[in-house]
A and B are shown apart, each in its own frame.
Chain A
C-alpha cells in the first residue's frame, strides 16, 4: 500500500480547497497581475482532478514567489532562481506528485536562466509558470531581463541598452515540449492553458504576462490581447517547430509594439518525459523512490555484499 494516499485519491477538490483558510490576504498591490495567476491555478487544479495534498508548488523569490503562501497545497518556497532544480528532483523522487514551479521573469530568465534551459531540455514532466511583468517589482522597479530596450529605471537611468530576452524562443531552443503565453487580463484563456500545461506529459512552460501597476506604469495592461488560435491572421501548426519559431518571433516583436499575442505556441507530441527516458535506460526505479523508505518489505542492499568483492 502506498505511504502517500493523497496521490491519485478518489477525492475531488474544488477551487475553494486550494484557498488557505488562515493565511492573511495576499500582499500583492491592487491591480497586480499576480492575482490572475493564483485564480487560474486554483481553477485549473480541480479541472485536472488534483487535490492539495498531491500537489507540490515550488516557487522562487519575489512577488511571484509568494504564490505558494496563497495557494493551499504542499509548498516549497525556495531561493531566487532555484525553483526548477528543487521541483524536478521532487518529481523524480515521487513521480505521482503534481509538480508546479513558478517564479518571475528575473527568477526564470535571469538568475535561474541556466536551470530554465536545462530543465526544458531534459523535459521533466512538470509545469513552469513565469510571471512576466517586464520589471523587478518587489525590489522596487529595476530593469528585468524582459524589460524593453530603452526602458528607464533607477538602475538603468539612461534607458536599457539591452535587447530583452525572448522567452518563447528561448524555451523552444532549450527544448521545452509545451510553450504558451497568456495574460492576466485574459483569465479564461489562462485557466484553459494551465489545464493543458498540467496535463501535458513533459516540460510545459507558460510565459504569463502579469502587469505591475506600481513599478511598470509605462507598460500596457496587456490589452487588447489577441489569441493566436482564434485570430484568422495567424495560421500556423503548433506542432511544427519551424512554424512555431516564426510565430514566437512575431509575438515577441509585437509585444514591444504594443500588441499582445497570446495562446499556444508549441506542442511536441510523442516525446517521452525525462523520468520515462530514465526508466527506459534503467537509471530510475520502476516504483517511486519515495515509497521505498516507508515500505517495511523493501530490500536494503549492503555494500559489504554487493561491492566489497571488487576490493579483495
Chain B
C-alpha cells in the first residue's frame, strides 16, 4: 500500500472530537480518498481523554495502520475546572502525552497552547523526544484564534485549518461541509476561522515531509459505520419494529433505527429492560411484523430466556449483540470478542439459532439482511454479533453497493387462502408444528387470520401446539427443529458468495484464521507477510452457527499450520472450530489479546512470526500453543 495519512484528533470527551473527525474524514473522502476511522473514548459524558484516528489512502483502506503520523491535540477543555484538580490531575495534557508512544518517526504534532501549557510540555521533555524521533512540533493557540473570530468551541475548526495548511490540502471540501451543515453567523465564523487558521499555518516554517495523499474514486463513495450498515440492512429487509434499552456499544443501532422507523412506517419502543425488549420483539413478530432487538453482552444476558422462547415457539426474531470487554460491566467502551460462547449457547436447552459475525460495513449490511431472511424463512431467532470496533469505525463504500431491492412481504407465513388448505385437527385448530416437514420449518399463521388459530408455547408441544410430554412427540419435535440448522447450512453453502472471506495466495501452506472484527486487520498483516517473502493466506469466518464445516475443513487441510487470531483470553473461536471439526487441534496456535484495544497489523505480523518460537510476542498479546484434537 502507498503511504497513508494516519491523522489523530485528541481532546476531552464532549469537546466535539467525534463530529470534527467525521467532517475531516468526509472531506478527505470527497477529495477522492478511501477512509477508515478508529474511535477511542472513555465511559463518561464530559472530560476524559478521547481520540479518533482517520486513516486515508489512495487505495482501499481496510484497517488501522501501525501507529500514526499526525497528531492534532486540542487539550481536554473539561479538565480545566480548578475545583476538580484533585480528580483530574494533569488530564488536560493527556490528549498530547497519551499519544507519543504511538507516533511514528517523522510524525507531526500540532497542539493547542490555549489549553496545553507550554511549560508543562517542556517538563515532559517533548523537545528531546521530538529530536530523537524526528517529530515536527507546531504549537499554536487555537483557542485564542477561535475566541477572537468566533467562539471557543470553534477551535476544532481552527485545528482543521492548521492541518490543511501543514498537509498542503485543498480547503474547499471543508468549506463545502461547513456550508452544508451550518447557517448564519455560525457558518460565517467557522468559514472565517478555517481561512485564518489555514493562513496562520502557512506561516510556519514547515519542516516535515508528510503530505495528504491524493486520489480519485471510480464511482461515488459513501462513508458509514457498522451500526449504519446493520440498521440499513434491517430496514431494507423489511424490519419495521425494534425494541431496546440503551447500552454501549449497541445504542448506535437502536438510535439509528428509532430515528428512521417513523419515516419508514415502523415502530420503535424503548422499554424497561432487555427482557422486555426481546419479549416485545417476539410479540411483534408473532403478531406479524419483522422485528428486532439487541444489546451489549450484559443486556443480552437478560435476553437469554426470551431467546429460548423464540427457539421453542419458533417465532422469528433478529437480535444484535455488540460485544464489549467483560465480564460484568467490564470496560464499557472497549471492544472484545469474548461473548462468542454467550451468543451461541445462552438459554436453557440445545441451541437452535443462527449466528453471524460480520467483519466490516459491507458484511454487516449483507449478513443482517441474511439474518432476517433466515429468521423469517425458517421461523427461528438469528443473531448478529459484532463489537465496538465494527460498530464505530467509519469506512468508505461505493454507493452502488447499497443499490439493492428492498424485500417486500414476509416469508414463512400462510395467507388466509393457504390456511384453508392447510392441515387442521378435528377441532379446527391449525397444525402449526407438524412433524413431517422436510426442511424442519413449518409456515406459521398470524393472530387475526381466519383459520389459523393455534397455541404457541414455550413448553414442548404437539402438532397443534398443545403441551405434551410424550417421549415420541418430543423426539420428533426436537429432531425437526434441529433439522432447520442443517437446511440453513445447506442454503448458506449454496450461496453465490460465501459469508467467509479468503485472502492471500491460495497455495500458501501457512495460514491465519480469524472471525468478526479482526478480519481486515489480519488481511493487512497477511499482505505484509507476503510482501516480505512469506507465503501466508487467511480465512475470515462469519458463520458461527450453523458452522461452515466444509469451508473451514478444506481451508485447514490445505495448510501446514494456522494461527487463530481473536480478542479474548480463552480462545473461544479456536475451541468452537475444534469442537465442530473434531480435528486439526495440533495445527492451531492461538494469538490472543484482551486489553481493550484491537490488534494492529504489526502485532499480528509479530505474533505470526513467533508462532513457533517458544517465546511470547511483545505487547499485551499471548500465544497459546496448539493442543491435541
A residues near B, CB below 8 A?
A: 3-7, 9, 20-23, 52-56, 58, 61, 66, 68-69, 72-79, 82, 85-94, 96-97, 114-115, 117-118, 278, 282-285, 289-290, 292-294, 296, 298, 300-304, 306-308, 311-312
CB B301 to nearest CB in A, in angstroms, measures: 15
Other-chain residue from A4, A79, A118, A311 in contact with B222 (beta carbon distance below 8 A): A311
Given contacts A58-B283, A311-B223, contact A3 B416 (CB under 8 A): yes
Bound form: Cα–Cα A307–B235 in Å: 10
Given contacts A22-B427, A68-B455, A293-B409, contact A304 B306 (CB under 8 A): no
Q: A20-B429, A92-B267 are in contact. List 18 more A-B contacts (CB 8 A).
A: A53-B452, A75-B457, A75-B465, A76-B455, A77-B458, A85-B279, A89-B280, A93-B241, A93-B287, A278-B267, A283-B261, A283-B268, A284-B267, A285-B267, A303-B235, A304-B399, A308-B399, A311-B224
Given contacts A4-B449, A89-B241, A306-B264, contact A77 B455 (CB under 8 A): yes
> Which parts of B15-74 form the interface with A (CB within 8 Å)?
none
CB A108 to nearest CB in B, in angstroms, measures: 14
Other-chain residue from B281, B284, B447 in contact with A74 (beta carbon distance below 8 A): B447
Contact call A289/B429, Cβ cutoff below 8 A: no
CB A262 to nearest CB in B, in angstroms, measures: 30
Contact call B223/A304, Cβ cutoff below 8 A: no
Contact call A85/B280, Cβ cutoff below 8 A: yes
Contact call B287/A115, Cβ cutoff below 8 A: no
Bound form: Cα–Cα A278–B262 in Å: 10
Residue of A nearest to B401 (CB): A304
Contacts of A97 on B, CB cut-off 8 Å? 287, 447-448
Of B122-130, B269-277, B381-389, B536-544, the one touching chain A? B269-277
Contact call B267/A289, Cβ cutoff below 8 A: yes
Contact call B263/A75, Cβ cutoff below 8 A: no
Residue of A nearest to B416 (CB): A5
CB A213 to nearest CB in B, in angstroms, measures: 23
Other-chain residue from A4, A5, A20, A302 in contact with B406 (beta carbon distance below 8 A): A302
Contact call A308/B222, Cβ cutoff below 8 A: yes
Bound form: Cα–Cα A304–B261 in Å: 15
Bound form: Cα–Cα A273–B426 in Å: 39
Residue of A nearest to B223 (CB): A311
Contacts of A68 on B, CB cut-off 8 Å? 455, 457
Contact call B280/A88, Cβ cutoff below 8 A: yes
Given contacts A53-B449, A78-B309, A289-B265, contact A89 B409 (CB under 8 A): no
Q: 11 A-B pairs, CB-CB below 8 angstroms? A: A54-B447, A74-B454, A77-B458, A79-B458, A90-B447, A284-B267, A285-B265, A289-B288, A293-B290, A294-B288, A307-B228
CB B33 to nearest CB in A, in angstroms, measures: 14
Q: Does B612 contact A (CB under 8 A)?
A: no
Contacts of A5 on B, CB cut-off 8 Å? 416, 449-450
Contact call B281/A89, Cβ cutoff below 8 A: yes
Residue of A nearest to B410 (CB): A293
Residue of B nearest to A4 (CB): B448
Q: Does B220 contact A (CB under 8 A)?
A: yes
> Which parts of B464-507 form the interface with A (CB within 8 Å)?
464-467
Bound form: Cα–Cα A298–B410 in Å: 12
